[in-house]
Structure 1
């Protein structure tokens, strides 16, 4: 699927280590969604778009692609990040998700 920002510029979302990165054609990273995987779950804990790229819809594009990839991987999303939680409460689509428990937060702190 072809992705673009709200100005029509092409972007790409791909996993990079324990994050999904959104980039422009020059491979400059414009934003990221950070996660940690454990026991069939993916804990998303931080989503950020660089200030100079704000207002282009990149956070939503990034998150939609990251969530689709997570669903395709058969993982449950644990929405630690407030942006991820708000997006999923609005429309989870095919994503299986849940809110974090205190144990999730303790585990995440140990693995950051």
Structure 2
């Protein structure tokens, strides 16, 4: 496990359709999304193994969902980690939409 002196920072990378978490300026994790109208569909989250167990995935997802709220969009949690996070953090329930077969078909087309 790698420890750092700098506080982790989360940045939205619209050109890459993801939020990244950086430690000492280095990307150590991400949560990927695609926008579908007013919905931000999260489909994948990962954190480098060297940084596992430090709560970085939770910080990343929390800041990403907070950003979605500020933008006026809604959350669709296709990613299992984001879905699990939402079950433990009910403060985002008011902006969460269910994963539907239509959303999954659309996402499959988007991702090719």
TM-score, reference length from structure 1: 0.88
| Post-superposition offset of 1:74 | 0.5
Aligned to 1:37: 35
Contact kept, 8 Å, 2:4 with 2:23, in 1: the verdict is: no
Q: Which residue of 1 aligns with 2:82?
A: 84
Q: 2:68 aligns with which of 66, 70, 81?
A: 70
Please give the secondary structure, in 2, of the residue aligned with 1:98: coil
Q: How many residues align?
A: 106
* Aligned 1:17-36 pairs, distance under 5 A: 17-25=16-24, 27-36=25-34
Structure-2-length-normalised TM-score: 0.88
Give SS of 2:90's match: coil
Structure 1 residue 92: Cα displacement:
3.0
Task: Give the root-mean-square deviation of aligned CA atoms.
Answer: 1.6
Structure 1 segments of 4+ aligned residues over 3 angstroms from their partners: 6-9
Deviations 1:47-100 (A, max 9, x none): 000111111110000000000001100111001011111111221314510221
2:71 is aligned with 1:96 = no
Q: Name the one with the larger strand percent.
A: 1
- Whether 2:10 is the aligned partner of 1:13: answer yes
Stretches of structure 2 lacking an aligned partner (at least 5 in a row): none
Please state which structure has a larger fraction of its residues in helix. Answer: 2
Give 5+ residue unaligned stretches, structure 1.
Answer: 1-5
